[in-house]
Structure 1
Amino acid sequence: MLKLIVTDLDGTFLNNQHTFDKDYFVKVHERMKQRGITFVACTGKQCERVEALFDGVGEDIWILGDSATRIKKAGQVIKDFTIEHSVAMQAIEKIEGFATDLSVIVCTRQAAYVHSSINKDSYKMVRGSYEKVIKVDDFNKIEGEVLKITVYDGKGRSSQLRKHVETSLLNQIYIVDSEANWLDITTFGVHKGETVKTIQSMLGVTKEETASFGDGENDVELMDIASYSFAVNNACENTKKAAQYVMKQTNDENGVLQTIEALLNVGS
């Protein structure tokens, strides 16, 4: 019996306008709740940004935000995972040494921090995923523990950047180039798959009772924690290979909600 549904947001649940069909979600989510199924949004977005996205339609959902470094429900942080401060600063130093035209986002429990030199377009893009953003002249001045570091590279060098950073920080961080333009760094051993396992343990849910949805390189681990794993049609090849099923629909076609509805119909 299905008890847990976990989905990535960008490129998976959200359409290319970074929104979703709220009326359809309310209809499907109500059926999920009637069946005792928990819905989880698992994303690189800041938890507070996800809360804003689901405002009025999903206050009782679970959120694995900030690249699954925070677990939040009903406005309360249940658990979070931080990077050792010295390791975080070393990673930032390596990133800044790689190129000067990167947009670096350093996330703490309080806010997402960007450098004051960030250009207007990049800042607008950051605001799409982060509700609270603060500009600083020096990342070393950031107070509070670091949850994750995200880098946007308009030149698509994330694979090279990953190799540059991980060489000196092996076994101290988890690093993934989710797309050619995006790279995420969290503490060692913390990624979407492991954080979902934490929720499974908290809720007493097994892999056999879990369904997951994803599209990017950072969703490969999501395919392994669920017996019913789905890659949207627009997913990267590695996620498609890792998934149990590849959907016919893309993220622009309500693919996740259609598939959840089909699962509910099978089980009714």
Structure 2
Amino acid sequence: MVSFQYRLVALDLDGTLLNSDKKVSENTKNVLMYLQQHHPDVEIVLASGRAPYLVIPTETDCGVDCSLIGYNGGLCLSKKAEGRTTIFEKAIPADRLIDIYKYVEDNNLYLNVYGDGIVYGVKRQIEKANNYSTMTGAKYSFVDSYFELKPELNPMKCLIITESEEECDRLLETLTPIFSDLSLVKSNCFSKTCKQYYVEFLKNGVNKGLSVREFCNLKSIPVEQMVAFGDAENDIDMLKIAGLGICLGNGNDATKAHSDKVSSYTNDQDGVARELVELYNLPKDLIK
């Protein structure tokens, strides 16, 4: 048995594990590799709003083998050593998917629909897709209308792309009563040259927090023995459920308010690595 209080580390990607260049720093890589090599009983989980195939390159850059939670909790995959099998998946009901398509078509909004290894979008407002692809590495397939997409696509997540937080907040307020039977989540993605804000559609009851809790139950790890790191609204449920929820210094005010600790360090200052060194009493010279 691991002797540490925290047997599971849950890590958000954008704005948390990744710096503003969308990279894993050498310090962060060194700390995560040391933690997994010397304390293999500590589970490391990457929990992101991204599709899992867009999380795997970050896992590779970290030099570790992690379980993956993608689509803000819609899909969970096991570690490579465990066969990278699907642990659970939660798709949006098909009838509500049609309602989402109708709303975005009627209101000239841009929607990402996530398929198996690809994102579907429409040919109008294509600069939004280009910016999203640049920041995340997503590969797109474009159609003229969302209604062209096959019913068997069975996506775990869709999201509307907006380019200001004010627009995103207004849209979320409008959509919440219309889609009260789904989970709607606000998220974002920033780079040094672009900012986007998203309203995400998920199956009812899906969020990072509940999915990490389900994963903990399957692994017989009490949630009190989990430490979670995040920076944005879609991380709040995970930070609240964890025994220790840490918001990085660059996080927004709402996320900081729901965390147990606000780090003195940002994602550009190796915040995750520095907090893990302190929590697990790792060698300080891992951080150069």
Q: Which moved further from structure 2: 14-23 or 231-240?
A: 14-23
Call closer, same or farther: CA 1:10–1:203 in 2, change over 3 Å. Answer: same
Per-residue deviation at 1:58? 3.8
The answer on whether the counterparts of 1:149 and 1:185 sit within 8 Å (CA) in structure 2 is: yes
> Partner of 1:185 in structure 2?
201
> Partner of 1:114 in structure 2?
121
> Partner of 1:44 in structure 2?
49
> Partner of 1:208 in structure 2?
224
Q: Which moved further from structure 2: 251-260 or 113-122?
A: 113-122
> Partner of 2:25 in structure 1?
21
Structure 1 moving runs of 4+ over 6 Å: none
Q: Which moved further from structure 2: 190-199 or 180-189?
A: 180-189
Matched, 1:149 2:155: no
Per-residue deviation at 1:31? 2.2
> Partner of 1:219 in structure 2?
235
Matched, 1:125 2:132: yes
> Partner of 2:90 in structure 1?
81
Q: Which moved further from structure 2: 119-128 or 147-156?
A: 119-128
Gaps spanning 5+ residues in structure 1: where?
none
Call closer, same or farther: CA 1:27–1:230 in 2, change over 3 Å. Answer: closer
Q: Deviations over 1:21-61 (max 9, x none)?
A: 14642443332343211111111111111112232644521
DSSP 3-state at the match of 1:181: strand
For the aligned residue pairs, the C-alpha RMSD in angstroms reads 2.2
Q: What percent identity do the matched residue pairs reach? A: 20
Q: Which moved further from structure 2: 114-123 or 221-230?
A: 114-123
The answer on whether the counterparts of 1:28 and 1:261 sit within 8 Å (CA) in structure 2 is: no
Q: 1:12 aligns with which of 13, 16, 20?
A: 16
Per-residue deviation at 1:265? 0.2
Q: Which moved further from structure 2: 87-96 or 220-229?
A: 87-96
> Partner of 2:274 in structure 1?
258
> Partner of 2:7 in structure 1?
3
Q: 2:143 aligns with which of 113, 117, 136?
A: 136
Question: Which TM-score applies when normalising by structure 1?
Answer: 0.90
Per-residue deviation at 1:110? 4.6
Q: Deviations over 1:66-122 (max 9, x none)?
A: 222111232433221100011022123223333x2x431011335211112242463
Q: How many residues align?
A: 264
The answer on whether the counterparts of 2:24 and 2:61 sit within 8 Å (CA) in structure 1 is: no
DSSP 3-state at the match of 2:250: coil
